[in-house]
A and B are shown apart, each in its own frame.
Chain A
């Protein structure tokens, strides 16, 4: 079993150009995103009503544990719905820079939520620098 530290993912991301770009976006906007989730009422409500804590735990677990996939749905709410609604509420309430980042990256995150099964797959895609949204 791997040591459950987030640095594990950070190291993986640093290994590729695309990963470094993703890391940079996360670092730039993490504080604002955390602030919105914890302090901004519409964002808080959206995060809780769409079972954000359940999904995030499941995603992290799927990165550490072999043969563990993240859950795609909780009580009728899909992970894609959570991400779409969080993108919406954070665009409504975030800074212009966050709005811009959401417009640039949310489509790819949504695509991955629909088409991958665990964080390991996502990390592999990023490492290989493959476009996350493909034709066909």
Chain B
């Protein structure tokens, strides 16, 4: 694999870039699709000599790349259109994705699942609500749950596995497949209705709208070219990637369906980000990709073992086609419901939405705070550092014993829940002490633990910044007061 460059683009920048390039996309599409060899035009990241660049361009998918000499003059793709570079790629040849086989109760996204007659193990993507009756469904791939490519033959789903017996004697059965698309509509997707919802919408099997290692799911949105994404699958666990093309064509042969190959349009191509060599492997099928705001953006289903590119379907297309909506978690203390655990279960706190009457959702409030923080050098730096290290911090909080104990003993989840509430509800103070621990105590403890357990880069960044964080925290009790402290700092620096 070519050496990886730092191609990280913050999500806000991705939004701006996609909007800017998107303005001329239709016009470019109309012009370029007239070329006989061209199959699709989309936005994506420029690739130069096999290496991704930190630059968005028009991505043009062709059946087969040809030498300039083989093409007529009017068939050549210009290297630059409207001042924006172009990049030509061939149709991606991918194979569907086949080792965390633990049983999880309550059910959780990112864990292993199987169909009663499916070809093998895959991953439970996430949870949604069926539009017609609000009943809870599980999302995964068709090829994880179904034994054939054509019909939903009464297939049922199990976690971590299904022994194939009928429902009355099957072990670990959790639901029945109710809808799916495979050969048509450009997706490999299926949803299963969670068991025990005959009378109402509270399923018998408890579940939590969270993805292992990633935290709470906060709804869904379309993927953006260039944005950083994360997925948790049964085989490769938590990995990080970057959307390198949001509208590629992929051809996927399925060996277990007698080698039937399915060509799909408008797919999303995801490149792994170092240190991950693969974003997705066999067994990760059915997993979902989340953006930096913990929103689901794509349903992963295949990969190219040579280029290590993962292919996934835009989640908004999947939801429209299968008529369901991905759940958007609430974030307030004691948020127990059929959806599972209270806020204490939140590891770092997914950026979940709140639904308290009269108040903005947490996500809206967080976005506003983020936008305001980004106005100051110091705030921007802190947000970027968080984005840069969040995967490692999530992993440490979830997997590292010392880190997990420190975070919980020093009231990390409680402080985080209070901060979330305070962001959502203006003026609400974060308590100075929770069970005798102050936020300063928590930050000092986490600094020491991260210095011992984090990677060299994380430890370095923590060491360089913890005093600034302590300084800001010490200046007030609400996010508005912290923001004011950052503003003062900004003014003093620029004076």
Q: Do A100 and B445 have beta carbons less than 8 Å apart?
A: no
Collect the chain B residues with CB atoms within 8 Å of residue A91's CB: 441, 444-445
A81 to B489, CA, bound (A): 25
Q: Do B467 and A87 have beta carbons less than 8 Å apart?
A: no
Q: Do B441 and A99 have beta carbons less than 8 Å apart?
A: yes
Known: A99-B436, A99-B437, A100-B438. A135 touches B471 (CB 8 A): yes
A111 interface contact, C-beta 8 A: yes
Q: Mark A40-80, 1 if CB is under 8 A from B, else 0.
A: 00000000000000000000000000000000000000000
Binds B, one of A5-13, A16-24, A26-34, A102-110: A102-110
Q: Do B467 and A100 have beta carbons less than 8 Å apart?
A: no
Listed residue (A87, A91, A96, A102) with the most chain B CB atoms within 10 angstroms of its CB: A91
A87 to B442, CA, bound (A): 11
A96 to B485, CA, bound (A): 29
A114 to B466, CA, bound (A): 12
B320 interface contact, C-beta 8 A: no
A133 interface contact, C-beta 8 A: yes
Pairs A-B, 5 closest by C-beta atoms: A136-B492, A103-B438, A103-B440, A107-B470, A88-B448
Collect the chain A residues with CB atoms within 8 Å of residue B436's CB: 96, 99-100
Collect the chain A residues with CB atoms within 8 Å of residue B492's CB: 135-136
B370 interface contact, C-beta 8 A: no
> What distance in Å separates the Cβ of B49 from its nearest Cβ neighbour in chain A?
41
Give 15 A-B contacts (CB < 8 Å), ordered by A residue.
A84-B448, A88-B444, A99-B436, A99-B437, A99-B441, A102-B441, A103-B444, A104-B438, A107-B440, A107-B467, A107-B471, A111-B467, A133-B471, A135-B485, A135-B488
> What distance in Å separates the Cβ of B298 from its nearest Cβ neighbour in chain A?
41
Q: Mark A84-123, 1 if CB is under 8 A from B, else 0.
A: 1101100100001001101110110011001000000000
Q: Do B440 and A84 have beta carbons less than 8 Å apart?
A: no
A30 to B474, CA, bound (A): 24
Collect the chain A residues with CB atoms within 8 Å of residue B457's CB: none
A114 to B433, CA, bound (A): 27
Which single residue of chain A is at the shortest CB-CB distance from B452? A85
Q: A91-B444, A111-B467, A133-B470 are in contact. List 4 more A-B contacts (CB 8 A).
A: A88-B444, A88-B448, A99-B437, A103-B439
Collect the chain A residues with CB atoms within 8 Å of residue B148's CB: none
Q: Mark A118-136, 1 if CB is under 8 A from B, else 0.
A: 0000000000000001011
> What distance in Å separates the Cβ of A133 from its nearest Cβ neighbour in chain B?
5
> What distance in Å separates the Cβ of B164 from its nearest Cβ neighbour in chain A?
52
Collect the chain A residues with CB atoms within 8 Å of residue B470's CB: 107, 110, 133
> What distance in Å separates the Cβ of B165 from its nearest Cβ neighbour in chain A?
52
A99 to B410, CA, bound (A): 11
B163 interface contact, C-beta 8 A: no
Collect the chain B residues with CB atoms within 8 Å of residue A102's CB: 441, 444
User: Which parts of B25-76 form the interface with A (CB within 8 Å)?
Assistant: none
Known: A100-B436, A136-B489. A84 touches B447 (CB 8 A): yes
Collect the chain A residues with CB atoms within 8 Å of residue B449's CB: 88
User: Which parts of B287-345 form the interface with A (CB within 8 Å)?
Assistant: none
A81 to B471, CA, bound (A): 18
User: Which parts of B404-451 form the interface with A (CB within 8 Å)?
Assistant: 433, 436-441, 444-445, 447-449, 451
A129 to B238, CA, bound (A): 50
A113 to B128, CA, bound (A): 52
B132 interface contact, C-beta 8 A: no
B82 interface contact, C-beta 8 A: no
Partner of A135, one of B441, B444, B447, B489: B489
Partner of A85, one of B441, B448, B485, B493: B448
> What distance in Å separates the Cβ of B490 from its nearest Cβ neighbour in chain A?
9
Collect the chain A residues with CB atoms within 8 Å of residue B448's CB: 84-85, 87-88
Which single residue of chain A is at the shortest CB-CB distance from B492? A136
Q: Do B433 and A100 have beta carbons less than 8 Å apart?
A: yes
Collect the chain B residues with CB atoms within 8 Å of residue A81's CB: 451
A106 to B474, CA, bound (A): 12
Collect the chain A residues with CB atoms within 8 Å of residue B437's CB: 99, 103
> What distance in Å separates the Cβ of B476 from its nearest Cβ neighbour in chain A?
13
Collect the chain A residues with CB atoms within 8 Å of residue B493's CB: 135-136
Listed residue (B436, B441, B485, B488) with the most chain A CB atoms within 10 angstroms of its CB: B441
> What distance in Å separates the Cβ of B366 from its nearest Cβ neighbour in chain A?
25
Which single residue of chain A is at the shortest CB-CB distance from B495? A136
Which single residue of chain B is at the shortest CB-CB distance from A84? B448
> What distance in Å separates the Cβ of B233 from its nearest Cβ neighbour in chain A?
36
Collect the chain B residues with CB atoms within 8 Å of residue A84's CB: 444, 447-448, 451
Which single residue of chain B is at the shortest CB-CB distance from A97? B436
Which single residue of chain B is at the shortest CB-CB distance from A111? B467
A63 to B485, CA, bound (A): 33
Which single residue of chain A is at the shortest CB-CB distance from B448? A88
Q: Do A106 and B447 have beta carbons less than 8 Å apart?
A: no
Which single residue of chain B is at the shortest CB-CB distance from A136? B492
